[in-house]
């Protein structure tokens, strides 16, 4: 106990030492290796770009619009044929 009281503890007498330096270097090396590995994995990902997503959304909207127009035209044609106002054989009622 007399050794501890002989040296007062302050910033000049207490330091992390060689073990602390080795742990710091190991953590820094692990961080560098993990970042490099993450970058390699990120390059493998084929994520769509924002412009591609907007183009796909526009194409879907155009397809829906075209589908709705075809359905409306088919309904109009069915209504005209079914009502007797215009027949396919050219006979007027």
pLDDT digits (tens, 9 = 90+) for 13-45: 778 889 999 999 999 999 999 999 999 999 998
Q: What is the mean pLDDT of the chain?
A: 81
Residues 62 and 36 in one domain: no
71 touches 64 (CB < 8 A): no
Residue 76: domain span: 48-83
**Tally of structural domains, the chain:** 2
Q: Is residue 92 part of a domain?
A: no
pTM of the model: 0.43
58 touches 67 (CB < 8 A): no
| Distance (Å, whole) CA 38 – CA 70 | 49
pLDDT of 6-16, one tens digit each?
667 777 777 88
| Distance (Å, whole) CA 15 – CA 35 | 30
Residues 79 and 56 in one domain: yes
Residues 21 and 41 in one domain: yes
81 touches 87 (CB < 8 A): yes
Backbone angles phi, psi at 53, to 5 degrees: -65, -40
Q: Is residue 25 part of a domain?
A: yes
Q: Is residue 88 part of a domain?
A: no
């Amino acid at each position: 106990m007399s050794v501890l009281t002989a040296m007062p503890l302050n910033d000049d007498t207490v330091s992390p030492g060689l073990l602390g330096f080795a742990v710091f270097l190991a953590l820094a090396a692990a961080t560098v290796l993990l970042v490099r590995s993450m970058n390699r994995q990120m390059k493998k990902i084929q994520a769509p770009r924002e412009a591609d997503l907007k183009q796909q959304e526009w194409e879907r909207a155009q397809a829906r619009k075209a589908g709705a127009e075809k359905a409306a035209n088919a309904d109009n044609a069915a209504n005209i044929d079914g009502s007797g106002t215009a027949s396919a054989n050219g006979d007027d009622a």
